[in-house]
A and B are shown apart, each in its own frame.
Chain A
Amino acid sequence: MAFLRSLRCPNCGQKATGISCPWCNYPLMRGRAVKEPREQKRLKKPVQARAKAEPKAKEEARAKAEPKAKEEAREKAEPKAKEEAREKAEPKAKEEARAKAEPKAKEEARAKAKTTKNLYTWAGLGLLVAGSLVFLAAYFVLLLTWLAALGISMLILSFILLALGRTIPKLSPEVSALFLATGINNIAALVEELGIKSKAIYLPSSLTSGGPQVLIPLHFNPLLSPITKAFPQRLIVRYGASSDDIGLLVTTTGTTAVGMLESIPGPISAELESALTFLFRGILGVADRTRVITSENHIEVEIYNSHIENKTAWFHQCLGGPLASVVASVAAEAWNRPVTINQEEHHGGRCSIELEVLGEDI
């Protein structure tokens, strides 16, 4: 009669009798609960243990992971935030800095301009003021013709000085010497380190990709190969078929000086002489005059009163001195053929240079 006893339905929770719930028709389990088999129990245990341990582990994992995640998130977010902040702050800071620095820089530039105004301009301005005062005083007050004439001569001189003062380069000679020394020292180091003993060949611009340059063969070879085409704009070039026909293609003082000429001279002695005198006397101011004698493929150049000191470093034997370098470059351009420096001698202020014009075959 066990099924007559009332039970609470596990499905709907209503009191029910019989074998199923009269409300929801859910079967009602009666009698003693069946004992679970031992094996099933054993299998259930780890599940239960896991169920118990899981929240704990989860908690621990969360506790561990949270600071890490936070740290990572901060690490990711921080640079971005910093970048944004900098982007916002930078223009403002720059503007402020410029506002502060601009008047200072202007003041400094004005002071510099005042000091860099060359002596010719200052002398010209001084003579202009003095000449005007002398002329006005002599002509209108003192009525002295000779003093007025002296005032006029001072004014003429002031105009000339002001005109010349405008043509003086802004760079000081010291700065120019600095650049020159840097360039020369680098080439010298290169030549000396490679132990080059062969003579440099000055090439005209038609045999290079740009302006006139110097080819320094790495190995001395008396039977040099002909140049068939212009060299590329490279430092290391191959000028022949042999494996040893490799050289350095560099720019020297002379090759740069050719660019200062107003026009390229012809191969005639007089033209070459005029170009060299123009360069040495008018532009560079390093010598008074030059004399050129040409015979077949040899050119002899005499430079008078040169102010450049003669040095006998290793690389000078390869490339020649600064004056010889200029002469060789101009001659190569004038003859439109490769030129090499055969000899260079200095006697006091006089410099004798002997060049050899090479054929199409170098």
Chain B
Amino acid sequence: MKIYNSYILIIATLLLLTTVILVALGQNSLDVYYITYVIEALIVTELYVYFNAKARHGLSLVSAILFGGFLVIVSLQVIKILL
């Protein structure tokens, strides 16, 4: 389970660092935070190719949910721009 621990630790550290950096940059939009988190999570998940099939299946499901949220935000922004 060493691979799981390292994966979770890397994701948690990245998300925390992103929050600190974005707060330091004075970012006030929740959409930006969410999109950054999703992109980071997807990249790290893709880098961990040695997960077993069951874990990959579970993480694919999580990635799909996160990507769905990302699409919703993008769609709302596009609608906002168009209107």
Residue numbers of A with Cβ under 8 A of B are 120, 139, 145-146, 148-150, 152-153, 156-157, 159-161, 163-164, 166-168, 262, 277-278, 281-283, 285
Contacts and interface: CB of A to CB of B under 8 A. Distances in A.
Contact of A148 (B2, B30, B38): B30
Contacts of A150: 19
B19 A168 contact: no
B1 A283 contact: no
A167 B55 contact: yes
**Main SS at interface, chain B:** helix
Contacts of A167: 52, 54-55, 58
B72 interface: no
Interface residues of B, number: 35
Interface in B8-62: 8, 11-12, 15-16, 18-19, 22-23, 27-30, 33-34, 37-38, 41, 50-55, 58-59, 61-62
A152 B54 contact: no
Contact of B4 (A120, A146, A262): A120
B50 to A, nearest CB: 3
B15 A283 contact: no
B3 interface: yes
A163 B61 contact: yes
B22 A160 contact: no
Contact of B55 (A153, A156, A164, A262): A164
A149 B33 contact: yes
**Main SS at interface, chain A:** helix
B9 to A, nearest CB: 11
21 contacts: A139-B30, A146-B19, A148-B30, A148-B33, A149-B34, A153-B18, A153-B37, A156-B15, A156-B37, A156-B41, A160-B41, A160-B59, A161-B8, A163-B61, A164-B58, A167-B54, A167-B55, A281-B3, A281-B50, A282-B51, A285-B3
A166 B58 contact: yes
A160 B62 contact: yes
Contacts of B52: 167, 282-283
Given A145-B30, A278-B50, A157 B58 contact: no
Given A149-B22, A285-B1, A157 B59 contact: no
A152 to B, nearest CB: 6
A163 B4 CA distance: 11
B74 interface: no
Contacts of A160: 7-8, 11, 41, 59, 62
Contacts of A166: 54, 58
Contacts of B71: none
Given A139-B30, A149-B22, 13 more contacts: A146-B22, A149-B37, A156-B37, A156-B41, A157-B12, A159-B66, A163-B62, A164-B8, A164-B58, A166-B54, A262-B53, A283-B52, A285-B3
